Amino acid sequence: MEQLALNAWLAANPDVVQIPGRDLFVIAKYLIPMDATLAQGCLVAAGIPAVLADAHLMQTDLLLAPALGGVRILVPSEYLQQAGAVLAGLARGDYALDESFTAE
């Protein structure tokens, strides 16, 4: 993503913050580690290299989650727009299984 387009996207998404000194951005935060793992799985399945930060700490003591800000999902800058679209689809329920789903 070129810098001008990145800056415009970041201005429209003020919750997305860069990790100082890295090309990684916090695209989402979850208070429940399993929700973060599910979101990361959707991102990775879409071809986006996403990593979790603080997941193990949250699983150790869920009471720390609000104080520490929850589990963070980090993605590189060139995947920010794509990651935002995948997470928006997840929030809308685009990836939910309906009642007629059967595992083979």
The per-residue pLDDT for range 32-85, each reduced to its tens digit, is: 889 999 999 999 999 999 999 988 777 777 777 777 788 999 999 999 999 999
Q: Helix, strand, coil: what percent of the chain each, to 5?
A: 50, 15, 35
pLDDT value for 50 = 96
Q: Is 31 exposed, middle or buried (0-12, 13-18, 19+ CB in 10 A)?
A: middle
Contact status, residue 73 vs residue 26, Cβ threshold 8 Å: yes
Q: Between 40 and 11, where is the model more confident?
A: 40
Q: Is 74 exposed, middle or buried (0-12, 13-18, 19+ CB in 10 A)?
A: buried
Decide if pLDDT at 101 tops 90. Answer: no
pLDDT value for 70 = 86
Q: Is residue 87 part of a domain?
A: yes
DSSP 8-state secondary structure symbol assigned to residue 74: E
Q: Is residue 61 part of a domain?
A: yes
Which amino acid appears at position 31 of this protein?
Answer: L
- How far is the C-alpha of 84 from the C-alpha of 103, rounded, in Å? 29
Decide if pLDDT at 1 tops 60. Answer: no
Element (H, E) at 59: helix 55-60
pLDDT value for 76 = 95
pLDDT value for 60 = 76
Which of 3-17, 21-35, 52-66 has the largest mean confidence? 21-35
Q: Is residue 99 part of a domain?
A: no
Contact status, residue 57 vs residue 68, Cβ threshold 8 Å: yes
Counting the structural domains of the chain, the total is 1
Q: Is residue 96 part of a domain?
A: no
Q: What pTM value is reported for the model?
A: 0.82
